[in-house]
Amino acid sequence: MADLIVFGEDWGGLPSSTQHLIGHLMKNHRVIWINSIGMRSPRPSWHDIKRVFQKLSGMLSFSRRAQLDNATEPSPFIINPKVLPFHQCKMVRQINKRLLLKDINTVIARHGFDNTILWLSLPTAVDMVGSLNEQASIYYCGDDFAGLDGVDHAMVTPLEQELAKKVDLILVVSKTLAQKFTNPNTIILPHGVDYPLFSTPAGRPDDLPDQGPIAGFYGSISPWLDIELLARSAIALPSWQFVFIGAIKTDVSSLLALPNVHFLEPKPHHQLPSYVQHWNVAMLPFRSNKQIEACNPLKLREYLASGTPIATTSFPAVREYANILAIQAPREPFSRVILRADTQQNAKAQRQETVAVESWQHRAAQLEALINHLSS
């Protein structure tokens, strides 16, 4: 059985699609996980300075075994990479490559890793392809980095193009992303969902508003949310309570001024079902841009698994579920979309049944077959 070397985001926190998939693969494969090596140079901001210090602190511990809530579950060997965040410079890339190879080869030798497959979720790890004596390499493309906020597009785009030519297999999460690549070995592997977690009834949290129907959203409160659309909706529906769970990363002053809008702190992933199950409507209020056109949001299937009606703006990923969602029509006020979704309460079982076969276990089984083919 092949061992895996994974370049992803930092392990822990709200799980990404990579973490969901690799978490299931760890039942049959040992994993070395390299925390994020970044996709832009740091700026002179407090956030970036804090991030740099966190990375420096992590570098002091060479590698460790991840500590999971359930100690009986397998865990990866985590490496905090010693890299310089200036990937547009060829000399820096060579330095980073040597530093990474030293740390990864140490773990390989220490724990007897063999027959490895390289998994890259970040284009900035392109120089590692072919450098670890791997059997095969996979690029897992979960986002359109050319349109993703917070990414140095001028740096990442050519790195991604280089990576797409070097790997043996490209996995993408949407048809839109598949159109980016000419590599014939490009396969669509849509996101999954932790169906048991989100479909199992959970108690109502104490910090939810106790008056009026609730329209809710969880996730990063970022520029890709249409804040003005949401403010107009909250004004148009004064009897509704609008609840947002997540870190605020954009200007929400127009929402903060409204009495029926509530911002809650970010919650651990396992607590999210208890919130979404007790909303009257779950929202996907995204702007129309290149990033959203290519996205396949994890929360879409999580919302569906919870059974809660969904009000959403229109983008490709939701159109696949048009018969069970309330999707905004051109020039339709989003407040009306929320009210339309609220009339769909009786379709709970249909929403859940639609994604019951799209669990992360099912996606991981598909991925297992691909990995076995690559390593045979």
Domain shared by 173 and 222, yes or no: no
Q: Which two tokens stand for residue 97?
A: 């490559």
Q: Which two tokens stand for residue 113?
A: 């890793």
Whole-number pLDDT of residue 68: 42
Domain shared by 301 and 366, yes or no: no
Other C-beta atoms lying within 10 Å of the C-beta of residue 38: 20
Residues of the chain with pLDDT under 70: 39-72
Helices and strands per DSSP (H, E), number in the chain: 15, 14
Whole-number pLDDT of residue 51: 46
Whole-number pLDDT of residue 162: 95
CB 279 within 8 A of CB 135: no
Domain shared by 325 and 348, yes or no: yes
Whole-number pLDDT of residue 144: 87
Domain shared by 97 and 241, yes or no: no
Domain shared by 325 and 352, yes or no: yes
Domain shared by 214 and 182, yes or no: no
Domain shared by 95 and 66, yes or no: yes
Domain shared by 172 and 250, yes or no: no
Domain shared by 169 and 43, yes or no: yes
Domain shared by 241 and 347, yes or no: yes
Whole-number pLDDT of residue 67: 45
SS3 277: coil
Domain shared by 110 and 209, yes or no: no
Domain shared by 253 and 346, yes or no: yes
9/240 Cα distance (integer angstroms):
37
- Provide the residue range defining the domain that includes 201: 195-356
Q: Which residues pair with 281 in a beta bridge?
A: 215
| Domains of the chain: total | 2
Q: Which two tokens stand for residue 8?
A: 């992803």
Whole-number pLDDT of residue 74: 85
255/246 Cα distance (integer angstroms):
14
CATH number at residue 288: 3.40.50.2000
**pTM of structure:** 0.87
